[in-house]
Structure formats: C-alpha cells, structure tokens
A and B are shown apart, each in its own frame.
Chain A
Amino acid sequence: AQKITQTQPGMFVQEKEAVTLDCTYDTSDQSYGLFWYKQPSSGEMIFLIYQGSYDEQNATEGRYSLNFQKARKSANLVISASQLGDSAMYFCAMRPHTGRRALTFGSGTRLQVQP
C-alpha cells in the first residue's frame, strides 16, 4: 500500500519569497514516481513536476523544484519567487512505475501568497 502525508494544511508566503511545501511518502515499491499538482479555486488539477525514484538529480521546472530525499522518503516542493497566482491547493501524489495505475494523493496544502 502507498501513503502520502502532507502535514501543512495551510501556508502563507510573501510575494517574491520562496516557500517549501512538505511531502513524505510510504511505499513498498522499488520503482515509483512522485508528482506535484496545483489546484486553483476553479478546480482543475494542474501538473507541475515529476520525480522518478531512480532519478539522481532533483527535478526542476521553471520556478518549481523538487527536493527529493529518498532515504527520508520525502519529496518537498520548492516554489521560488512566489507570485499572487501561486495561491492554490497543492497536492503531492505518487504511483508505482508498474502495476497499479492510480495516483495516491495526499490531503493537500493550501498556499496563500500575500502582497
């Protein structure tokens, strides 16, 4: 079984500052993928970034980077230079690379960017 834990229900950050959203996971799979999604108030889940369990380098996509620490089973999302449009719910998710296709999601973190 897989489990995702996001311990921060809500976070505040000042515009232009960096923020880290925490994600820890538990799995017995040897090969898996970790994903972060953003969900604005409109409801759509927007894919942000992916990290494979065997990737040696941390993933980066523009202002998003994933701080992957495999031994600690953590996959924190770092958003640099926060913008007002970054205010949203953020979900960490994972799935094994083989077998079951469903994503397992965490409970999410609500980020509010303040001017």
Chain B
Amino acid sequence: GQNIDQPTEMTATEGAIVQINCTYQTSGFNGLFWYQQHAGEAPTFLSYNVLDGLEEKGRFSSFLSRSKGYSYLLLKELQMKDSASYLCAVQRTDKLIFGTGTRLQVFP
C-alpha cells in the first residue's frame, strides 16, 4: 500500500481538545490534506499543509513535519457536530492517496 497510517477510532468529550495523527512515506510528497466526512456524506476539505509548521483555521489546526513524515489535526472546543471521520491524504503529483480515516466520536 501507500503506508498512510492514522488511528481507526478515537473518542473525546464535548469541549475538549483532540489530536489525530497521520504518518506517511515521504517519497513523492507534494502536500498533505485533511478532509472531514460525516456518515453517509461526501468528504469536505479542512486543511492543507505543504511546508513544515502549523496552519490554524478557527477551531481546527493542522501541523506538518516533512522530514518525519508526520502530520496531526488538532480540534479544539469540541462540539457534538465534530463527530465524523477525518481523512488524511498525501498529494503525489496528480493524485491524492488517502489513509483509512479516523472515526471520532464526541460525547456530551
């Protein structure tokens, strides 16, 4: 496979912070995307990183370390509507290669 690894499931409490990790093979890397997918719906874009560092967008932030082949998505002030799957995807030339996704359940 393409060796993009992320945890299968995570749980968290409303109002908390959760970090979802993603590791990948560094060959042919052109950027890393995070998508959110609610059950029965299409994936929607959350963030993009191509340089090392943190990208912040409201309650969501994404971090990238190219040398380590590592990224994380940080979700703050969790809300019930954040219960969804979070997909890490690596861009390689014309294509995105997706990880299997992390299913996040937020409890009251």
Q: Is the A/B pair a real complex?
A: no
Chain A contact residues, CB within 8 Å of chain B: none
